[in-house]
Amino acid sequence: MDNVDRILAQWHRERPDLDVGPMGLLGRIARLRAHLAQEIDAELEKHGLARSSFDVLATLRRSGAPYRLSPGDLLAATMVTSGTMTNRIDQLEKAGLVERLDNPEDRRGVIIALTAKGLDTVDAAVTAHVANQHRLVAALSEQERKALDALVAKFLAAFE
């Protein structure tokens, strides 16, 4: 019996008229998300990164060589506000991980590019991140992971 089971038992005792089954599922998802976030954050911190900065660097890295995107493309890929993105880029630029370049297609705009240091940092971080993800799902068999992934994908599709 875990903490969620104890909470559900209390609700069953106090409000037997309510079906609190979804509370258990959603509570476990929320608790799992918090545990996973803590583990992911700890790994990224070893590389001097927060999840928000890793998100920008990883988006640039997976875009392919020459690892450059417009701020608008970064916004679309990360789904944050323009002010938030500007702040993230500013911090990454100060750390020497990205640089702003003139946009050859639009003289008024810029392109955000990984620096050599940024590329090295994100490559090391993503290698460790993927290894960490394997560690985090190791409690599940391959078959269980696939089944859970399919269920979560179906659940998520209802919102997206």
Q: What is the structure's pLDDT at 93?
A: 96
Q: What is the structure's pLDDT at 58?
A: 96
**Burial status of residue 122 (CB atoms within 10 A of its CB: 0-12, 13-18, 19 or more):** buried
The domains of the chain are located at 1-45, 48-160
Q: Which CATH class is domain 48-160?
A: mainly alpha
Enumerate long-range contacts of 69-72, CB under 8 Å, 24 or more apart. 69/111, 69/112, 70/103, 70/109, 70/110, 70/111, 70/112, 71/109, 71/110, 71/112
Q: What is the pTM of this model?
A: 0.86
42: tokens are 């700890």
**Which residue's entry shows tokens 């545990």?**
35
Per-residue pLDDT of the chain (160 residues; tens, 9 = 90+): 889 999 999 999 999 999 999 999 999 999 999 999 999 999 999 999 999 999 999 999 999 999 999 988 998 888 888 888 999 999 999 999 999 998 888 778 899 999 999 999 999 999 999 999 999 999 999 999 999 999 999 999 999 8
Q: What is the structure's pLDDT at 52?
A: 93
